[in-house]
Every structure is written in structure tokens, then in C-alpha cells.
Amino acid sequence: MPFAHHNSRKVAQFFFANQSVFDLRRDENLISYSLDMLKVPAHQVAGHQAGDGKLGPLVDDSGLFYKPLQSGERGSAEVTFYKSFSSNTRIPENIRRFFPVFHGTRVLEASDGSGRCPHLVLQDIVSGHLNPSVMDIKMGANTWPPQSPEDYIAKCLKKDRETASIQLGFRISGFQIYGSKESEFWKPDKQFFKSLSAQDVRLVLNKYVSSNASPDLDLNPNCAFASVAYGGSTGILAQLQELKAWFEDQTIYHFYSCSVLMVYGQEGSGAEVKLVDFAHVVDGEGVIDHNFLGGLCSLIKFISDILTTPPDEYSTKACLQDSQNNQSFCDNGIHE
């Protein structure tokens, strides 16, 4: 089945033609879990979070992640993407590992107590990591898909301008960083990221792989975990470069408002890169996704610079200066 364009009329036509995919509330066979079998994700760093009567994702002890479908076209579009991606023979096997495993859909009791709600059933990305340090990075200088309503474009553009998105091609949406001790971790609230400028980005990427990470921006990061998390043949940088090679060629999809999720754990659980959030994916129409690719090149440049900086040169001042240099690199449209 071809992937539907992000167009209201075409999406609506697709819904009616495939009602069994989306009218999940009517399938009683899917209702097999209750809230007492599920829990709020302990390591979610961005997006809508369950708790205090709010609708958000849930997890179980078997390594599954249950994401409630967004209302209207967004939720249906994300289901459509997962089904399209799962069955698309043009996706290389080495690229599939960068996407959460899709286990279908299931109707569950919503976390906000509003009743039964259809959920995506996905791989819980962090379940295999001990004390995972997690970072959610929203990709693209432009975070809204084509043909979006004007009010939605204005909302996205305002946020893109206020953060690093337009300047760097990506912005950090959330993170959780564990230090050298199990009880030490830093997980800022949403307000922190609203004021995170392009000049702060490299500093935060340094802190993400530091054993002395803290809210104190004057404390120089030691990057103690940089070589383990970012470096090596299976580290985050190598994985991002593998993704980049695919994005330089693939014209199947355009990934608007999609995130790169970076995870690494202690005790040698390794590093992992996954793409998440596909409510705004559209048909690539045979054109390379330069919006996503540009942000990916920019992120790779930042992480490469961290790995090539001698440990004794890590400092808050140096991080901010290098961030300014990378901003110029991106503004000039140069991507290595």
C-alpha cells in the first residue's frame, strides 16, 4: 500500500478505505491490558507524559512501549507510517534498526482515566540499559509538514526561532543524564529547553557524556563517557553517520518534527540511536529530505568536534565558542 501524502483529503480517503486500521475501539480482541499491568516510563525526557491525570505513554515489564494515538489525523498518520515502513521492501535491513520495532496497535485504558484509547505498541528503547542517559533531539530547521494550517505553521515557526532549530537544524528537546553514581542524575524541566540557545548546545552535548553533569553551567564538563558513548565503531557518531549515508540517498519519506533519540547506559550496555515520532512524515515524492539531512549533518559535526577535543581543553568557554563556530558552519550551508 503506498504511503499517503500529508494532505487532508488524501488522508481522509485513506482512513475510510482502511477503517479497520483506525477504528480500533471496536475490536474487543485488542483490549487485553489494564492499567495495573502498566506503568509510567521512568526515563521519558520529552513529549506528553502520563501522570496527574494526563494522557501519555505507558510501559510494561516485557520491553514494550504503549503510545496513545494523537487525536485526529496525527495519530492515524503515525499508524500509517509504521505500517508503510514495516512492509516497505526498499528499506535496507541495516536502517531498520534505527526505528522502534512496531508490534501493532492495542486498545488500553488511557493513563488519564478517560476510558479506552488506541495505542501504538512499540519497542521500549531504554529497557535494555542500566541507568540510561537519554537525549531527545528534534530534527530539522523546519518542523512543520507541507500544507499545514497557518496557525500551526506560526506556532512551529515561533518555537523554531526561539530555539536552535533554524540556526543549527536541530534542537534539544529533553535529556536525562546519569553521573558516576546511580543516585546522581540530571533531568531538567521543560522550561530549561525553552531558553536553550544555539550557543548552549555544544555545552549540553558535552555534559551528556560527563560524569560530573549538573545544572551548573559554569562547571566544566569532563566528558568522561565521550569515547564510550559517542566514539568507537558502534558508538553514537558511527550510527549517525550510517543514518546520514541513507538520508543522502533515500527519497521515500520526509521526516518533519521527527526526533533522534540517543541512549547509552552504564555497565557496558552500549549506545543506541533511534528515530521516533512520525505523526508528520510525508511522502518523499522522489526528493531527498534536505531538511532532516541538514540537521543530521550539523549534529554529526558537533559530536565529531567533541571527540577530537583533547580532554584538558574541555571548558564552558570553549564549548560556547565552538558552538558559535558550528553555527557559522551550518549558516553557510556546508555539510561534510
> Domain coordinates of the chain in residue numbers?
8-123, 130-331
Please tell me what DSSP assigns to residue 176: E
The per-residue pLDDT for range 139-183, each reduced to its tens digit, is 999 999 998 999 999 999 999 998 999 999 999 999 988 875 555
186 CB-near residues (< 8 Å, 6+ apart): 176, 177, 179, 207, 213, 214, 215
CA quadruple 291, 292, 298, 300: dihedral, nearest 10 = -160
For the segment 78-113, what is each residue's pLDDT rounded down to a tens digit?
Answer: 999 999 999 999 999 999 999 999 999 988 877 666
* CATH hierarchy code of domain 130-331: 3.30.470.160
- pLDDT on residue 301: 97
- Predicted TM-score (pTM) of this structure: 0.81
4, pLDDT greater than 50: no
In the chain, which residue ranges form alpha helices assigned H by DSSP? 8-17, 19-22, 73-87, 93-96, 150-162, 165-168, 190-194, 198-207, 226-229, 236-247, 290-308, 316-331
Is a pLDDT exceeding 60 seen at residue 5?
Answer: no
Q: How many helices (H) and strands (E) does the chain have?
A: 12, 11
Give 242's contacts (C-beta < 8 A, 6+ positions apart): 94, 95, 98
Q: Is 65 left (phi over 0), alpha (psi -120 to 50) or beta?
A: beta
Which residues partner with 138 through β-bridges? 171, 259
Cell 536525562 sits on residue? 176
Confidence of residue 214 (pLDDT cuts 50, 70, 90): confident
